[in-house]
Structure 1
């Protein structure tokens, strides 16, 4: 194995690229923005993304969120959530909110989560897999003529059949109105319902309803460091998100990002990274 040594500046560049990709996604068309273009993109997009965030979850109406959807969560059409429309400049008034797939040639008109049992997707009552059904609404089976649409008789860990579950897309106000937690507000694209590390777990396995994990603080605010958050900060942030201008929200985001950088420990000066070498393995 060939060892590559990265100094602190190189490690920082890797972190910055990961941050850039999570914020910009595919909006740069494959060509990296210049620093000026990147700052302008964040100033224009981040406030709108925070205000108009769409929370996507999968569960039974009136019950817990059995699955919180993230950018890499696959749809019935096999494409990821981040490959679907995940944000609007202005939220439409009609419901349900439509999140069509953006992959060229894909007929999927609405993101729909496919439940899994372990690492395998559940099967339809016709015994065929989800990918053997059409991606269009109705999801007719392409392997048999008796199937009237994808319908799984399997039972979720919450105790309810998967047929009783649905994919829910809601705005901040709608989620707050039904008493569901909002978690932290972040500038990243296609975050869906993710609010923390435990969001990646199934609903019945999480020890908290938000997916943010235990923080020692009962507030549900968009601060970067919830453990240090005060009630006054919580109130001011919610007021800002509900009634502040895009410029004020962007400045609030910038302030939080700088606070997070100051709180983060310094990275190591160098890191050894092993990669395959054509000459063989070097120990």
Structure 2
């Protein structure tokens, strides 16, 4: 398969063929995440250890516990991260929910493949949802989830990322985009206009009802917290 190598080829491909179904799902989720960030003032991203934001996190984003971001909430104004309403998960931690997000774009094209049952896997061979949502251990005996995949954006492993919740002020201080500039493809109007034509606006975020505890404190990433031998939690900062 011939892959587009230049911006011109990308533009031509989008004009002629549009986006692949998986790419459409991914870019719509990112647009929805940007809309949510602007409405709530909390910017949720999946950030690599190199400092780059690899994914915008929106209502439908999947947590390690296998529940969506919309199923998590902040328990207090000073809570560093949202916990899950549906299980014992103590902190939302983003995981890819589609094979295209880890570079396995061919899987959805296989006959009989069900994207809804696909799970990001550990090197032990089991999905993230077969690991404890807090301790990250698997019933097979592996002591910690270690991804057998790499991020499509930065090519780093899952464990080389952290889930971050921050305000617009904090992002501006760090030199990161906010507001309309946070939308996907905001830096290339020509491509964005093709991907998001007038009739294809941002997806509604009405299904996401964050509670009132959205303070201005930094939402520290879950990756900064580790379970102790006794099962308690402590910061590694």
**TM-score w.r.t. structure 1 length?**
0.43
1:141 corresponds, among 138, 143, 157, to 138
Q: 1:25: which partner in 2?
A: none
Q: 1:111: which partner in 2?
A: 92
Q: 1:127: which partner in 2?
A: 125
| TM superposition shift of 1:150 | 1.1
**TM-superposition CA deviations, 1:216-273 (whole Å, max 9, x none):** 8xxxxxxxxxxxxxxxxxxxxxxxxx9xxxxxxxxxxxxxxxxxxxxxxxxxxxxxxx
Residues 166-205 of structure 1: matches in 2 within 5 Å? 166-184=162-180, 195-196=182-183, 198=184
1:61 corresponds, among 13, 32, 49, to 49
In structure 2, stretches of 5+ residues that fail to align are: 1-31, 101-114, 191-215, 217-237
- The alignment status of 1:100 with 2:74, answered yes or no, reads no
Q: 2:46 and 2:95 mapped to 1: Cα distance?
A: 9
| TM superposition shift of 1:73 | 0.8
- The alignment status of 1:214 with 2:188, answered yes or no, reads yes
Say what the alpha-carbon RMSD is for the aligned residues: 3.2
**TM-superposition CA deviations, 1:32-80 (whole Å, max 9, x none):** xxxxxxxxxxxxxxxxx96962211112134321111011111111111
Q: 1:112 and 1:175 mapped to 2: Cα distance?
A: 20
**TM-score w.r.t. structure 2 length?**
0.50
Q: 1:148 and 1:133 mapped to 2: Cα distance?
A: 10
3-state SS of 1:151 partner:
coil
Contact in 2 for aligned 1:75/1:81 (Cα 8 Å) = yes
